[in-house]
Amino acid sequence: MRGMQIIIAILIVAQCLVASAEETVFYGACDASAAVALDENTFVVADDEDNVLRIYSLKSPGMPLAKYSLDNFLGVQEDSHPESDIEACTRVGNLIYWITSHGRNKKGKWRNSRYRFFATKVIHQEGKYLLKPEGIAFDNLLSALVSYVGINLKASVGVIGEDSGKSLAPKENGLNIEGLSTNADGSVLYIGLRNPMSGKQALLIPIENPNSVIHGKAEPLLGEPVHLKFQSRGIRSIEYSTYHQRYFLVAGDRSDKSSSVLYSWDGIPKSVPKKIKSFLNLNPEAIAPIPGHNKIQIFSDDGTVAHRVLQEESFDKLVDGKCACKSLKDPKKKSFRSLDLSLKKESVH
């Protein structure tokens, strides 16, 4: 009887530490692959199916408040496969750094547009947020990664500029970047790899001179890699929370065969991350801590969520009267979800 009372007490304490979780739906996009808070009520999100940044209100969810196309800045010229596959972002002061997957498409084909590291400047003017491209869209990070002495990525990259076949697709054996985070003081950025892994450990690669890189003043200077244990999962998202003084990471299987898990990490390379929460009905791909609060937003990539529509409403042939969200013609019907998660400091330390 006493044993049961102890178990119940532990469950009550755990429930108090992870206070609440509230799900919200936003419209105008499906694949929320990267996101960052602009303030406690506003965030910007990237969709890995296009090159558009969308600003949303947390207080008044719905369609985006503003949209910014990056086609010209990113130098995208191929109409047949124009997306840059933006996968992660992080904010340092008034700069938001963005990174694409640096991986091939699902068939292992090379696409020049998928290799970019860049930044946008945040401007707050007359109560509204504006985003302006900063510096250059750097397109040679892959060369630095291939020659990186910390780990051998050559086998996961293959021959630069040439198609490889499915074996080097991102969800097979190919390179796939899905995480980017500043460190505590903003001097270093961590690149998070979903694929490949080092044995059963996920990999973080530090960029020690990000500002110089995006201003065209230097090639990337990469630091010592960090190996993290996530039960054979790679990194789907990572972000540092100044409120919690911890990194939050979403770890997931490279091919979506198992559920994703939220962890916290103290930033010490050899320490073991703490498991916070598993996700069963969400496809989490972006984390955005709310400045000055115990809340973090977890954004779901809902591109494959099925919607019941008429055939003329879908770009693709319907299956059982449904199509994937990303196939919807009307942007107003496209949607993605966000989980508002309140985490007390003691629950993540």
Q: What is residue 255's predicted lDDT score, i.e. its pLDDT? A: 84
User: What proportion of the chain, given as a percentage, has pLDDT over 90?
Assistant: 87
Summarize the confidence of residues 300-314 as an average pLDDT: 97
87-to-19, 101, 208, 298 alpha-carbon distances in Å: 29, 6, 20, 14
**Cβ partners under 8 Å of residue 286, min gap 6:** 32, 33, 34, 35, 45, 88, 237, 298, 299, 301
Distance CA 107, CA 240 (A): 33
What's the mean pLDDT when you consider all of the chain?
A: 93
> Which residue pairs from 159-163 have beta carbons closer than 8 angstroms and sit at least 24 positions apart in sequence?
160/110, 161/110, 162/110, 163/104, 163/108, 163/109, 163/110
Q: What is the CA radius of gyration of the chain?
A: 20
Secondary structure of 240-306 as H, E, C letters = EECCCCEEEEEEECCCCCCCEEEEEECCCCCCCCEEEEEECCCCEEEEEECCCCCEEEEEEECCCCE
pLDDT in tens, 2-30: 554 444 444 444 444 454 678 999 999 99
Confidence (pLDDT) at 110: 95
pLDDT bin (cut points 50, 70, 90) of residue 78 is low
216 vs 149, higher pLDDT: 216
Does residue 209 register a pLDDT over 50? yes
Averaged over 188-202, what is the pLDDT? 97
Domain residue spans of the chain: 40-290
| Matching CATH number, 40-290, of 3.40.50, 2.40.70, 2.120.10, 2.40.10 | 2.120.10
Q: What residues are paired with 246 via a beta bridge? A: 241
Position 129 pLDDT exceeds 90: yes
Q: What confidence tens digit (pLDDT) does each residue in 244-300 have?
A: 999 999 999 998 778 899 999 999 999 999 999 999 999 999 999 999 999 999 999
What's residue 286's pLDDT? Answer: 98
- pLDDT given for residue 4 in this prediction: 46
For residues 317-335, average pLDDT: 97
pLDDT at 308 over 90: yes
* 82 band by pLDDT with thresholds 50, 70 and 90: confident
Rounded to whole angstroms, the maximal C-alpha distance in the chain is 69
Spell out the alpha helix ranges (H) of the chain: 2-17, 71-74, 141-146, 154-157, 210-214, 345-348
Cβ contacts of 310 within 8 Å, gap of 6 or more: none
Contacts of 304 (CB under 8 A, 6+ apart): 283, 324, 325, 326
How many angstroms separate the first and last alpha carbons of the chain?
31
3-state secondary structure of 10: helix
Residue 18 pLDDT? 54
pLDDT at 20: 64
Residues contacting residue 52 through CB under 8 Å, at least 6 positions apart: 29, 46, 67, 68, 69, 70
Residue 12 has a pLDDT of 45
Percent of the chain with pLDDT over 70: 93
Q: Tell me: pLDDT of 139 over 70.
A: yes
Neighbouring C-beta atoms of residue 177, cutoff 10 Å: 27
- pTM for the model stands at 0.94
